[in-house]
A and B are shown apart, each in its own frame.
Chain A
Amino acid sequence: MLVCGSGIASSTLVAPTVEEILRASPYNCELIKGGLGDLKDKIDQIDLLLTTITLPGDMGLTDVPVVTVTGLFSGEKERIKVEILEKLDG
């Protein structure tokens, strides 16, 4: 799942790049997009959380690996790709 503050702007802007990274992985992934408000409902269904924002500490996120993808805005695609693939392998 890919989240940002509102589910409208920044998550939508990085979505195509994230999809590209996921397609290049050996796994068959489905990308869900949303805002902070959607996270609580979906948290049980997801294997990996990608976020463009700093998440609040108390969201029960202990079971799900998290990758901060804000770096996609500053051209750190390769580093983030590696991180995502590592978390997917784990």
Chain B
Amino acid sequence: MVESLLGIFEWLLNMGAVVVVPIAIIILGLIFRAPLRTTLLCALRMAVGFTALLALINVVVGLIGEAGEIMGMRYGVGLSIPDVGWPVFSGITFAAPFAMGAIALFILVNALLVIIGFTKTLNVDFFNHWIFVFTILAVYVTTESWVLGIISGILFWLLTLKLADWTAPMIEPYYGMPNISIPHAHSVQYAPFGFFMDRVWDRIPGIRDIELDPSTLRERYGLLGEPIIIGFAVGLLFGGLAFLGYGEVGTFGDQAAKTITLSLSLGFFMVLLPRAAELIVMGLAPLSESIREFIMKRMPGREFYVGLDVAVVVGKTEHIALGVLLAPIVYLVSLLLPGNNVLPLADAAAYMIFFSVFAVNTNRGNLFRGLLNATLIWLPLALILSNVIVPASMAIVDYVGFEVAAAQVTSITVGSNFFIFIFLAIASFIKGVGSSTMLFWALLLLAVWIIVFYVVRKRPREYADELRRQE
């Protein structure tokens, strides 16, 4: 009897996310009193979403892996690690059985922190909490220490709440949206750099006076760049460089066929990826709603900011324009950056607009400065770190029980969260599994960030007053 129970348990764990997460959903659904029929449907949607995500990753990994390898042999550089984007990595994170419970706990504790006055932000953005769970997982799989993992995740989460409080004064005058703040880790951790660089550009003659009008740009480049076209074009370019004129692949006909197959498959990946990710989010929706209602009903009349996804503000013209411009620029940076192996893909289409918000809203929407900030700081940092994070990411993929072919994948979104790298490097060093070089860079980055933050610590309030005076 005991043995067969153990057998069932082992089978469950071996099946991984596809089975474990739906069960977790059903349990949480019961606790937070979501209707049972919806809960069951959600559980099924998530399981199907995971299956779809896994199939998509395996397609893209196989194809890019081969092309990257050949490029490496032919030119000595190969962007062999595809960036499969935040939709995949959030999905992988939600595949950890405890992910949703942890997020529910984060939000509950957040409500308590608002009540005791530690923070004024109540982050109701259930979905984007995944990055804190990812941090816990990344540190755990690297150091095998849950304690360090959980400490890192909590520190990152607290820091993000504090940064949301800090930037909150400028949100209303800039966007005309009262009582909200942006505890969106990926973007808000760059806000100090944005304010700091605004002062730097102010002191450089020439650059000081340039302004770029964003309103004309969108018509010319289309809205956000169609993902299908980005996928197809990257496939054509990348496949062409790898396969065309390479005899070992076969005749010219074979070479062309491989190139076209790669282009169409990447187009297919880019079109279907959002659908797979959407299924997973659909599975989350009623649960996130029940938890939100549960907490909102119990909040006393204390005043607080409703913390939301940065997506609620990206409709501003300068954000869309910068998002569109960065899609080609990220390819340029990926080729010029020494030691880079990451081929920007999903996040080149789906992330740039969110990522670059604080590159341009910290300087009165000056697109030229936004472009300089993003090209010189935001993108290189995110790309370098999306290389560095690969081993931890792949260990997480393994931990949640996804079977991915031997090749590697990453996400620029994950890389852009430099605090994950900082926590990971420090925790690895403590546990004796990290290198001192990593630790050095992490501490340097942390020191620079702290100094920059200190210099501009009063800036959001000043800036908010300036914006109000302009109106």
User: Taking each of A4, A8, A70, which has the highest tally of chain B beta carbons within 10 Å of its own beta carbon?
Assistant: A8
Q: How far is the CA of A27 from the CA of B223 in the complex (A)?
A: 32
Q: How far is the CA of A17 from the CA of B176 in the complex (A)?
A: 25
Residues on the B chain within 8 Å of A58, using CB: 215, 218, 317
Chain A residues 1 to 17 lying within 8 A of chain B, measured CB to CB, are 4-10, 12-17
Find the B residue at minimum CB distance from A71. B306
Interface stretch (choices B59-67, B282-290, B435-443)? B282-290
Q: Taking the complex as formed, is A65 at the interface, i.e. its CB lies under 8 A from any CB of chain B?
A: no
User: Taking each of A6, A36, A51, which has the highest tally of chain B beta carbons within 10 Å of its own beta carbon?
Assistant: A6
Contact (Cβ within 8 A) A13 B289: yes
Residues on the A chain within 8 Å of B293, using CB: 75
Q: Taking the complex as formed, is A28 at the interface, i.e. its CB lies under 8 A from any CB of chain B?
A: no
Q: How far in angstroms is the closest Cβ of chain B from A72?
A: 9
Q: How far in angstroms is the closest Cβ of chain B from A1?
A: 15
Interface stretch (choices B121-129, B337-345, B362-370, B390-398)? B121-129
Q: Taking the complex as formed, is B98 at the interface, i.e. its CB lies under 8 A from any CB of chain A?
A: no
Q: Given A4-B311, A9-B311, A56–B285 Cβ distance below 8 Å? A: no
Find the B residue at minimum CB distance from A73. B124
Residues on the A chain within 8 Å of B223, using CB: 36-37, 39-40
Interface stretch (choices B2-10, B11-19, B273-281, B426-434)? B273-281
Q: How far is the CA of A36 from the CA of B313 in the complex (A)?
A: 12
Find the A residue at minimum CB distance from B353. A5
Count of A-B residue pairs with CB < 8 Å: 103
Q: How far in angstroms is the closest Cβ of chain A from B323?
A: 9
Chain B residues 175 to 199 lying within 8 A of chain A, measured CB to CB, are 175-177, 180
Question: Within the complex, which residue of A4, A12, A37 is in contact with B282, where a contact is CB–CB below 8 Å?
Answer: A12
Q: Mark B250-293, 1 if CB is under 8 A from A, else 0.
A: 00000000000000000000000010011001101110110011
Chain B residues 103 to 136 lying within 8 A of chain A, measured CB to CB, are 124-128
Question: Within the complex, which residue of A5, A8, A54 is in contact with B278, where a contact is CB–CB below 8 Å?
Answer: A8
Q: How far is the CA of A13 from the CA of B286 in the complex (A)?
A: 8
Q: Taking the complex as formed, is B233 at the interface, i.e. its CB lies under 8 A from any CB of chain A?
A: no
Query: Can you spell out 19 A-B residue pairs with CB atoms less than 8 angstroms apart?
Result: A6-B274, A7-B278, A9-B281, A9-B311, A10-B312, A15-B282, A16-B289, A35-B224, A36-B224, A39-B223, A51-B315, A52-B312, A53-B313, A53-B314, A54-B175, A57-B317, A70-B312, A74-B124, A74-B306
Apart from A36-B320, A39-B223, A73-B125, 7 more pairs, CB < 8 Å: A8-B278, A9-B281, A12-B281, A13-B281, A35-B224, A37-B224, A54-B175
Of all A-B residue pairs in the complex, the 10 with the closest CB atoms, nearest first, are: A5-B311, A75-B296, A54-B315, A74-B306, A12-B281, A37-B224, A55-B315, A53-B315, A9-B127, A5-B314
